[in-house]
């Protein structure tokens, strides 16, 4: 192995040197985070857990609407109001309009994401999300009263703008208010919120299947008004992120916010001042590595690799076959199942997704993010390939129809136990703290752009008036999953158990993605001179075990 300066005891730093004191406190806080177990973290940061869960609940609305729009394509009253009559007397929303409606929200989210990169860093996470919730209340009116596809599309675009802010603020806030041990759970809870929204949407539409009037789809739209106000009231009382406050130079406010997020005395090693020192030291370390905080800085120096990593991590979530889940009800119907059975299977699918997300919390702690992400992609690739094979069998084969439906449930479980939730943890952890808001924005833009492409081709794959691939489209997604898996093997690092300062150094030293988990990192190195001379701060060190 290559040897560099080992970590020294922080207590050796003299109290006469302010920089040394800050480094010593940061060193102790880093040790405390490494020693902190799951239950110790929950007991010390219970308020952080609660506030993060509240912020993330805003995404239930997005999961609800996304599942709602795609499912309505298979709903009779919606088809008759907005669709075209086919030769057999049935109604279908054309593939072009299916793409347009599902992409409408994504286009709005792209606008919201670009705005968020500026607004969130300038005004903070609390004010930004409150403003977004107010906008949601207003834009739901357009969707509810829409009588034509263009008006409905405008409503979807506009409501996508605040969703763009939700997508990044919730993940960023979760990653910044909790210690290392809680990061994977609170960031992946975002995925659970999506699934909860999808479950609610499927349940509501299942309840509406007996209706034949326009209220059958208007009532589900109206239910989107029930989320914003209670969330808004709660967020108004939430503490701001200590990391954001430190970046703004508001150290006393950051200390007060951290006190509100934690409970003193639960961990004898935890100290608010030492944790603030770690945040300040990490911020200074990142300024030395990459001083800027603009979008351009995301594409320069060390941060270029980090931007590539977070962007492709989130894109892989889109292009590995997850469109099967978004269009599940329509997919089931086109595979030959009755509409009622299609809605029932979709609801079961999302419940299985919720169970998978909860299981991912256990799997991440045992296997780490990189390993779980890779195995998840491998499982999805296999399921997609089998679905494609079944698609070759004649459409009238009932056994094949139910087998395809069952495999889609298996796919959902694999996705929500790995790629779906783990993505949020990876994106939030692998971006630098000073550029996190903008890095997550760029990653989510990459996700949405790939989503636009996916939403253009998926309806054409499934729609009988277009390509009519049906289940054979599984072959296509199996191929894209394989490409994603190859990238993950060579380029995706393992952030498990790393503080943000340690991740900064691993990227700065150009450590291979496959060696992130084995490298020893000392971000706040100190050194004692011989013969009792005054100690000094030395360069941070990285030690790589070559044979791992």
Give 109-118 pLDDT, tens digit per residue: 888 888 887 8
Three-state SS for 286-353 is: HHHHCCCCCCHHHHCCHHHHHHHHHHHHHHHHHHCCCHHHHCHHHHHHHCCCCHHHHHHHHHHHHHHH
DSSP, res 5: P
Q: Which residues contact 301 (CB under 8 A, 6 or more apart)?
A: 289, 290
DSSP string spanning 427-470? HHHHS-STTHHHHHHHHHHHHHHHHHHHHHHHHHHH-TTTT--G
% of the chain exceeding 70 in pLDDT:
86
Global pTM value: 0.74
Residue ranges per domain, the chain?
A: 28-500
- Determine the pLDDT at residue 8: 38
Indicate the helix (H) or strand (E) that contains 193: helix 183-208
Asked if pLDDT for residue 244 goes beyond 80, the answer is yes
Average pLDDT over residues 175-204: 86
Task: With cut-offs at 50, 70 and 90, classify the pLDDT of residue 234.
Answer: very high
Nearest to 106 by CA among 404, 452, 413, 403: 452
Average pLDDT over residues 305-317: 93
- Mean pLDDT over the full length of the chain: 82
d(CA 241, CA 276): 12
- Determine the pLDDT at residue 13: 35
- Determine the pLDDT at residue 326: 66
Half-sphere exposure of 368 (CA within 13 A, CB side): 14
Average pLDDT over residues 145-149: 89
Average pLDDT over residues 55-84: 83
Is residue 536 classed as helix, strand or coil in its secondary structure?
Answer: strand
Encode pLDDT of 315-353 as tens digits.
999 899 887 776 666 666 665 667 677 777 777 888 888
Say if residue 255 is exposed, middle or buried (CB neighbours under 10 Å; 0-12, 13-18, 19+): middle
Q: Which residues contact 177 (CB under 8 A, 6 or more apart)?
A: 45, 48, 51, 52, 186, 239, 241, 242, 261
Task: With cut-offs at 50, 70 and 90, classify the pLDDT of residue 46.
Answer: very high
For the ranges 13-17, 65-69, 186-190, 374-378, the maximum mean pLDDT occurs at: 374-378
d(CA 469, CA 111): 33
Task: With cut-offs at 50, 70 and 90, classify the pLDDT of residue 458.
Answer: confident
Task: With cut-offs at 50, 70 and 90, classify the pLDDT of residue 5.
Answer: very low
Asked if pLDDT for residue 256 goes beyond 60, the answer is yes
Asked if pLDDT for residue 70 goes beyond 80, the answer is no
- Determine the pLDDT at residue 226: 86
Give the range among 140-144, 151-155, 278-282, 463-467 with minimum mean pLDDT.
463-467
Task: With cut-offs at 50, 70 and 90, classify the pLDDT of residue 476.
Answer: very high
- Determine the pLDDT at residue 483: 95
Average pLDDT over residues 533-544: 49
The fold adopted by the segment(s) 28-500 is: Growth Hormone; Chain: A; (1.20.1250)
% of the chain exceeding 90 in pLDDT:
26
Task: With cut-offs at 50, 70 and 90, classify the pLDDT of residue 233.
Answer: very high
Secondary structure E strands in 16-121: 84-85, 91-92
Task: With cut-offs at 50, 70 and 90, classify the pLDDT of residue 4.
Answer: very low
- Determine the pLDDT at residue 292: 61
More confident residue, 242 or 343: 242
Q: Which residues contact 447 (CB under 8 A, 6 or more apart)?
A: 314, 315, 317, 318
d(CA 434, CA 438): 9
Encode pLDDT of 355-389 as tens digits.
998 999 899 888 889 999 999 999 999 999 998 88
More confident residue, 485 or 8: 485
């Amino acid at each position: 192995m290559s040897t560099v300066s080992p970590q020294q005891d922080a207590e050796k730093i003299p109290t006469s040197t302010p920089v040394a004191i800050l480094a010593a406190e940061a060193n102790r806080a880093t040790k405390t985070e490494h020693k902190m177990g799951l239950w110790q973290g929950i007991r010390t940061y219970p308020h952080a857990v609660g506030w993060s869960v509240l912020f993330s609940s805003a995404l239930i609305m997005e999961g609800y609407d996304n599942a709602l729009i795609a499912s309505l394509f298979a709903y009779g009253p919606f088809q008759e109001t907005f669709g075209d009559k086919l030769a057999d007397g049935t109604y279908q929303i054309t593939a072009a309009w299916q793409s347009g409606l599902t992409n409408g929200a994504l286009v709005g989210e792209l606008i919201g994401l670009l705005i968020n990169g500026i607004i969130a860093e300038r005004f903070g996470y609390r004010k930004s999300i409150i403003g977004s919730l107010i906008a949601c209340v207003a834009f739901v009116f357009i969707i509810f009263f829409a009588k034509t596809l263009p008006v409905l599309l405008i409503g979807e675009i506009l409501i996508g703008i605040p969703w763009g802010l939700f997508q990044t603020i919730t993940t960023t806030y979760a990653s910044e208010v909790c210690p290392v041990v809680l990061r994977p759970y609170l960031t992946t809870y975002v995925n659970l919120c999506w699934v909860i929204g999808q479950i609610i949407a499927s349940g509501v539409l299942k309840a509406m299947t007996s209706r034949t009037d326009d209220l059958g789809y208007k009532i589900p739209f109206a239910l989107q008004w029930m989320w914003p106000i209670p969330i808004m009231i709660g967020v108004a009382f939430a503490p701001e992120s200590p990391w954001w406050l430190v970046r703004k130079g508001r150290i006393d406010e950051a200390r007060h916010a951290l006190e509100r997020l934690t409970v003193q005395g639960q961990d004898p090693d935890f100290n608010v001042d030492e944790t603030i020192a770690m945040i300040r030291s990490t911020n200074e370390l990142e300024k030395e590595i990459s001083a800027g905080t603009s979008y351009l800085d995301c594409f320069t120096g060390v941060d270029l690799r980090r931007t590539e990593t977070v962007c492709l991590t989130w894109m892989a979530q889109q292009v590995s076959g997850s469109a099967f889940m978004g269009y599940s009800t329509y997919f089931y119907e086109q595979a030959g199942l009755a509409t009622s059975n299609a809605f029932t299977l979709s609801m079961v699918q999302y419940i299985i997704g919720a169970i998978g997300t909860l299981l991912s919390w256990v799997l991440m702690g045992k296997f780490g993010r990189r390993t779980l992400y890779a195995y998840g992609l491998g499982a999805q690739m296999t399921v997609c390939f089998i679905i494609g094979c079944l698609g070759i069998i004649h459409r009238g084969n009932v056994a094949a129809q139910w087998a395809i439906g069952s495999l889609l449930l298996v796919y959902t479980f694999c996705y929500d136990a790995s790629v779906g939730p783990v993505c949020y943890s990876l994106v939030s952890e692998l971006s630098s703290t000073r550029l996190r808001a903008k890095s997550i924005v760029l990653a989510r833009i990459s996700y949405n752009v790939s989503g636009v492409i996916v939403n253009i081709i998926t309806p054409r794959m499934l729609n009988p008036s277009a390509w009519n691939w049906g289940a054979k489209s599984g072959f296509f997604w199996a191929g894209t999953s394989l490409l994603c898996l190859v990238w993950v093997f060579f380029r995706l690092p393992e952030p498990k158990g790393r503080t943000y300062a340690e991740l900064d150094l691993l990227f700065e030293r150009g450590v291979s993605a496959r060696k992130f988990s084995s490298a020893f990192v000392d971000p706040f190195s100190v050194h004692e001179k011989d013969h009792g001379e005054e100690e000094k701060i030395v360069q941070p060190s990285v030690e790589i075990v070559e044979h791992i």
